[in-house]
Structure 1
Amino acid sequence: MKRPTMADFDSLADKLPGVGTDPASVRRRVEAMEGLLERMFVIPGLNRPVGLDVMLDLIPVVGPAIGAVMGSWLVWEARNLGLSKWQMTRMFGNVGIDLLLGAIPWVGAIPDFFFRSNSRNLKLLKRHLDRHHPATATIEGGVVRRR
């Protein structure tokens, strides 16, 4: 029996929706991860979205580390898309600031509530995708007023 190779995995991944290495699949994955980490639900009364990243900061030591690993995955996807080293450094800097802010037990969730590193990284990644892979661009925004 033949052992599966990386080429076999890549061909299978390209056939599954959202798992491929094409820019459109990567865009969907990173947008979903950012939604999970930063905008999972809205706090009633504040009308402010909160995600897994803020909730993980409530777990001392381990929580911020898990959030940093999950945020680093966005940088890894960016590397696969060919972002420059400067942009990846900025993205890792955002993850590092998030990790340092979250390292303060219990109180670290408050600054993380306002400094959304994953949203910042998604913005950098979208800018790159829109510039270098325009076919993946999506239209965002609200309702256009009719006259």
Structure 2
Amino acid sequence: MERSTALAPTPDAAHDLARVERVASWLDTRYVIPGTQVRFGLDSLIGLIPGVGDTAMLLPSLWIMAVAYKHGVPKRTIAQMGWNAGVDYVVGSIPLLGDLFDLFYKSHRKNAALLRDALGQRTPR
């Protein structure tokens, strides 16, 4: 049975969401390329390590999905998170093209937004 799309926020959910958003920021948008508006994070840097980087960055994605599951996020939303992580992993694994792709496809931020929407939280300003 599918759960409702917006869950009642709890203090525990708010705390976990804040942690997820903080980690997603570090992984996807922590730094900016000077003179541009292009943001990147540790995912882009660690993804430069052939064979290991993209696999290592799959672990935080799985953690975000586990947090979503813990808070009763609908399976459909968790599947979308899995899709985002899978696209990031598969395309990010392609030499050079994948590294460029990582600069623009922010899977962790997308998944944090999906979690925030599912938990009915407001976007922090």
TM-score computed with the length of structure 2 as normaliser: 0.85
* Residue 40 of structure 1, CA deviation: 1.4
What corresponds to 1:88 in structure 2? Answer: 78
Q: Would you identify which runs of 4 or more consecutive aligned residues in structure 1 move more than 3 Å?
A: 137-141
1:100-142 deviations in Å (ceiling 9; x for gaps): 0111123311112111111111111010111xxxxxx34544x
Structure 2: which 5+ residue stretches go unaligned? Answer: 1-10
Preserved contact between residue 17 and residue 112 of structure 2 (Cα < 8 Å): no
> SS in structure 2 opposite 1:22?
helix
Percent identical residues: 32
* Residue 27 of structure 1, CA deviation: 1.2
Give the aligned residue type for 2:75: K
The structure whose Rg is larger is: 1
TM-score computed with the length of structure 1 as normaliser: 0.73
What corresponds to 1:129 in structure 2? Answer: 119
Measured in 2, the distance between the counterparts of 1:41 and 1:30 equals 18
Measured in 2, the distance between the counterparts of 1:106 and 1:65 equals 16
RCO higher in structure (CA 8 A, sep ≥6): 2
Structure 1: which 5+ residue stretches go unaligned? Answer: 1-20, 131-136, 142-147
Preserved contact between residue 29 and residue 39 of structure 2 (Cα < 8 Å): yes
Alignment of 1:10-25 (within 5 A): 22-25=12-15
Aligned residues: CA RMSD? 1.5
Measured in 2, the distance between the counterparts of 1:106 and 1:139 equals 33
